[in-house]
Chain A
Amino acid sequence: MKISLILCALLASSVAACKGGGSGPEATGSGTAATQAGPRSVTIWWAQWAPADGLQELGREYQKETGVTVNVHQIPWSSYQDQVFLNFGGDTTDFDIVVGDSQWLGRGATSKLYLDLTDWLPTVLDLKTIHPAALKYLCEYPSGTPHYFAAPCETDAVGFAYRKDWFEDPAEKAAFNKKYKRDLAIPSNWDEFRDIAEFFNRPKAKRYGSALLTGRGYDALVMGYQPFLWDWGGSWGDSNTFAVKGILDARPGADALQFMKGLLRFAPNDGSNMDYGKVLEAFTSGSVAMAMNYFAFYPTIVRSMGAKAGFFVVPEKDGKRFTSLGGQGMSISTKAPPARQKLAKDFIAWFLAKQNQERWITKEAGFTANVEILNSPAFMNATPYNKAFSESVGLMRDFWNVPPYNELLASAAQHLGEALDGAKAPEQALGAIAEEHERILREAGFRK
């Protein structure tokens, strides 16, 4: 095998040579080049979106203060996960810090890809200042134990954007009052939500009631279903015994799925399979009354629709109100050289300091996990969506974050999707997920 590799390398170099020098070599992994050039820089990988621009701006301020360069490399969402874990496969990583999805924690921690920050994190941060939900889901693995593999970076939650101008239109208000015998206002529970969606749904005029997260590509459908699941009193399973059967596929989950499916009648065309970008596009194209999405998308909405858009927290059901957690924590690659790991730690410590978190929230969609800031009037009034965000943080829960999370996600997305498409009854779909989840969890050694 070695011989073949050498052959391959020889061929590679000869091809380069006969090309008159070739153009390849200078591109051979910026990571290795940077390592040799000196360790005064930190490379961060994150997905391509507005918060990453904000982090890059903070990085420039950090450079002014310390002289250490911070590079935020942005990768399209659609291939972000694949690229990060492919990069972890090499001897070194091109990044020192990765801002990874909450579900990745288990894989990063157990495969020793993420540096264990358990001893270090409490020395640079008073953990009590971090919202407990953010700490639990963005930093801890296993969740609920004091073992930290990430520092909170972007905290995010699912909420709703709505057409403020339609809601405040006197003619609409009168018509709504006549039909439903109450005032048209932000829905506080799901039944009110349903009525409003029905009221605004006018397909002939190309106006629709609500757009939900239903895309099956990665996690959109699961994140969209979760508020229903939890509000109805259901759960993905027992987080101690990892039992799924009899819990996920019980009555509450099925009723929740049935209700969610019912809402698709008021969705725009293609509404049964919309990922984050499609929901955003449907809403900004001006044809949808209420759209479910993560708060990190809302700056884009405000930018393109201005005062026409308002925002609210997910509705409740019988006093229960939960939402899907989003966002990412900063983890340090174990495959970065020690000198760079040290620099990465320095940057994270700086980022977490309260005065810098206060700068972070001034960036577009820079959402902090710092409780004091979250509850301050200055934060709540800074944007039209901050108040709803601040409320949502306390309602957050997350999907499984164990190492085989991706298989769990794919299985859930597939069967939930079949239920929305009408190929399976909700009970059947959840039964199939429970079956597969128990098998996956058993194979991974969690379910005894």
Chain B
Amino acid sequence: MKHDAAAIRIAFVAPTLVFLIVIDLFPLLYNVFLSFTNAQLSSAAYDFVGTRNYSAVLGELASPRFQDALRTTGAFVVCAVAIELLLGFVLALALRDSFRGRSAVLSLLLIPMMLSPAVMGLFWNLILSAHNGVLNQALEVLGISGPHWLTDPHWKLPAVILVDVWMWTPFMMLIALAGLNAIPGYIYEAAEIDRASTWAVFRRITLPMTAPLLGLAVLLRCTDALKQFDLVMALTGPNDASTQTVSALLYQVTFAGQKVGLGGAYACVVLVVVIALASVFTRYLDWLAGKQGRSGQVAT
């Protein structure tokens, strides 16, 4: 098997790698180049401005605008992922044992995560409207006076989180279910013989044994939530102080403000964070593979 000529090996692998380098890596380098210029999207000419964009970014690191975007993104990621994890795990526990129609219920529950955030986000505008939205009317029936989801500055971010939770709780549930199903039955049987309490069983067996997979789910969701742009665009627009995530700020600077150079400098800062997170992710995969490799359930 290992005697194939190098040419064959290259023939299989190289097209993909070259393609990715050209399409993904090259723009990154070009981005770095542009970040030293005052390029604008509405004209082809540009001048070098040295490190002015970076001093602008460094200046902005201390300015409210960039800090707010970072804080908003952070708050969004932490809240959304935590709520999704919690709800997803609870749902998985409820759906763990089989019952009539379980498979159908599971299929239905999984639908939201496959839909387009941009398109569904647009429709959620109608649901969340405080003027004629159906959500607040439903809350009114329950005696709750609903907030102005999309206009009250304190409720806009929660509104974006709500829609994200609606979309991505199924994802957490799916992975949590896989973790729960992988716990061998004999462990529970042993616990039963020991007359362990339900809570003790949950804390000593269920939780620790599903934790590794939940960790993977959290990492995957975090990398995705960090990019949050579609829902923000659909629900509150890119220039809203209370929901401006880093991606929305990048859009605002690069496209509405037409400052490609400054946007490029922001982007470089963002990419460093993303690459760091990606490497955490792969390390985690390695660790997971090492931990569960014997069971053959996880492979990298």
Q: Which of A3-11, A38-46, A142-150 touches B?
A: A3-11
Q: Is the CB of A216 within 8 A of B148?
A: no
Interface residue? A338 (CB, 8 A): no
A1-34 contacts to B, CB under 8 A, are 1, 4, 7-8, 11
Q: Is the CB of A217 within 8 A of B239?
A: yes
- Contact partner of B148 (CB less than 8 A), chosen from A11, A86, A270, A413, is A270
Which chain B positions have C-beta within 8 A of A414? Answer: 239, 241
Which chain A positions have C-beta within 8 A of B256? Answer: 81-82, 406, 410
Q: How would residues 403 to 415 of chain A score, 1 for a CB under 8 Å from any chain B CB and 0 otherwise?
A: 0001100100110
Which chain A positions have C-beta within 8 A of B150? Answer: 270, 273
CB within 8 Å for A217 and B237 given contacts A89-B41, A270-B148, A410-B256: yes
Interface residue? A111 (CB, 8 A): yes
Q: Is the CB of A4 within 8 A of B22?
A: yes
Interface residue? A282 (CB, 8 A): yes
Q: How far is the CA of A285 from the CA of B126 in the complex (A)?
A: 13
Q: How would residues 196 to 235 of chain A score, 1 for a CB under 8 Å from any chain B CB and 0 otherwise?
A: 0000000000000000000011000000000000000000
Q: Is the CB of B151 within 8 A of A272?
A: yes
> Which B residue sits closest to A422, measured CB to CB?
B153
What's the nearest-Cβ distance from chain B to residue A251, in Å? 26
Interface residue? A362 (CB, 8 A): no
Q: Is the CB of B237 within 8 A of A4?
A: no
Q: How far is the CA of A81 from the CA of B130 in the complex (A)?
A: 29
Which chain B positions have C-beta within 8 A of A107? Answer: 42
B4-61 contacts to A, CB under 8 A, are 19, 22-23, 26, 30, 40-44
Q: How far is the CA of A214 from the CA of B42 in the complex (A)?
A: 29
Q: How far is the CA of A81 from the CA of B239 in the complex (A)?
A: 15
- Contact partner of A269 (CB less than 8 A), chosen from B41, B44, B148, B252, is B148
What's the nearest-Cβ distance from chain B to residue A153, in Å? 21
Which chain A positions have C-beta within 8 A of B22? Answer: 4, 7-8, 11
Q: How large is the interface on A (under 10, 10 to 19, 20 to 34, 35 or more residues)?
A: 35 or more
Which chain A positions have C-beta within 8 A of B98? Answer: none
> Which A residue sits closest to B151, measured CB to CB?
A273
Which chain A positions have C-beta within 8 A of B240? Answer: 216
Q: Is the CB of B153 within 8 A of A86?
A: no
Q: Is the CB of B153 within 8 A of A421?
A: yes
Interface residue? B202 (CB, 8 A): no
Interface residue? A180 (CB, 8 A): no
What's the nearest-Cβ distance from chain B to residue A424, in Å? 11
What's the nearest-Cβ distance from chain B to residue A79, in Å? 9
Which chain A positions have C-beta within 8 A of B257? Answer: 406-407, 410
Q: Interface residues of B: mostly helix, strand, loop or mixed?
A: loop
Q: Is the CB of B151 within 8 A of A4?
A: no
Which chain B positions have C-beta within 8 A of A273? Answer: 150-151
Which chain A positions have C-beta within 8 A of B294? Answer: none
Which chain A positions have C-beta within 8 A of B153? Answer: 418, 421, 423
Q: Is the CB of B151 within 8 A of A86?
A: no
Q: Is the CB of B43 within 8 A of A413?
A: no
Which chain B positions have C-beta within 8 A of A90? Answer: 44
Per the CB 8 Å criterion, the residue count for chain B at the interface is 29
Interface residue? B72 (CB, 8 A): no
Q: Is the CB of A268 within 8 A of B131?
A: yes
Which chain A positions have C-beta within 8 A of B136? Answer: 269
Q: How would residues 123 to 147 of chain B score, 1 for a CB under 8 Å from any chain A CB and 0 otherwise?
A: 0000001111000100000000000
Q: Is the CB of B26 within 8 A of A4?
A: yes
Q: How far is the CA of A7 from the CA of B19 in the complex (A)?
A: 9
Interface residue? B258 (CB, 8 A): yes
CB within 8 Å for A418 and B241 given contacts A270-B130, A270-B148, A273-B151: yes
Which chain B positions have C-beta within 8 A of A11? Answer: 19, 22-23
A264-278 contacts to B, CB under 8 A, are 268-274, 278
Q: Is the CB of A269 within 8 A of B255?
A: no
Q: How far is the CA of A274 from the CA of B125 in the complex (A)?
A: 13
Which chain B positions have C-beta within 8 A of A282? Answer: 131
Which chain A positions have C-beta within 8 A of B241? Answer: 414, 417-418
Q: How far is the CA of A272 from the CA of B130 in the complex (A)?
A: 11
What's the nearest-Cβ distance from chain B to residue A432, in Å? 11
Interface residue? A120 (CB, 8 A): no
- Contact partner of B42 (CB less than 8 A), chosen from A8, A86, A272, is A86
Q: Is the CB of B239 within 8 A of A113?
A: no
Q: How far is the CA of A120 from the CA of B131 in the complex (A)?
A: 50
Interface residue? A126 (CB, 8 A): no
Which chain A positions have C-beta within 8 A of B239? Answer: 216-217, 410, 413-414
What's the nearest-Cβ distance from chain A to residue B37, in Å? 13
What's the nearest-Cβ distance from chain B to residue A403, in Å? 10
> Which B residue sits closest to A83, measured CB to CB?
B255
What's the nearest-Cβ distance from chain B to residue A44, in Å? 19
Q: How far is the CA of A110 from the CA of B150 in the complex (A)?
A: 38
- Contact partner of A111 (CB less than 8 A), chosen from B43, B131, B152, B252, is B43
Q: How would residues 329 to 363 of chain A score, 1 for a CB under 8 Å from any chain B CB and 0 otherwise?
A: 00000000000000000000000000000000000
Q: Is the CB of B130 within 8 A of A269?
A: yes
Interface residue? A446 (CB, 8 A): no
Interface residue? A77 (CB, 8 A): no
> Which A residue sits closest to B153, measured CB to CB?
A421
Which chain A positions have C-beta within 8 A of B40? Answer: 89
Interface residue? A91 (CB, 8 A): yes
Q: How far is the CA of A411 from the CA of B266 in the complex (A)?
A: 20
Q: Is the CB of B132 within 8 A of A285?
A: yes
- Contact partner of A85 (CB less than 8 A), chosen from B41, B131, B132, B152, is B41
A247-273 contacts to B, CB under 8 A, are 268-273
Interface residue? A88 (CB, 8 A): yes
Q: Is the CB of B44 within 8 A of A89?
A: yes
Q: How far is the CA of A413 from the CA of B239 in the complex (A)?
A: 9
> Which B residue sits closest to A215, measured CB to CB?
B237
Q: How would residues 119 to 163 of chain A score, 1 for a CB under 8 Å from any chain B CB and 0 otherwise?
A: 000000000000000000000000000000000000000000000
A285-312 contacts to B, CB under 8 A, are 285, 287
Q: How far is the CA of A114 from the CA of B127 in the complex (A)?
A: 42
Residue pairs across A and B with Cβ atoms less than 8 A apart, 22 shown, are A8-B22, A8-B23, A11-B22, A82-B255, A82-B256, A85-B42, A86-B41, A88-B43, A216-B239, A217-B239, A268-B131, A269-B130, A269-B148, A271-B131, A281-B132, A285-B131, A406-B256, A410-B252, A413-B239, A414-B239, A421-B152, A421-B153
Extra pairs beyond A4-B22, A88-B43, A216-B240 (19, CB < 8 Å) = A4-B26, A7-B22, A11-B22, A11-B23, A86-B41, A86-B255, A89-B40, A268-B131, A269-B129, A269-B131, A270-B148, A270-B150, A270-B151, A273-B150, A281-B132, A282-B131, A285-B131, A413-B239, A417-B241
The 4 closest A-B pairs by CB, nearest first: A269-B130, A273-B151, A85-B42, A217-B237
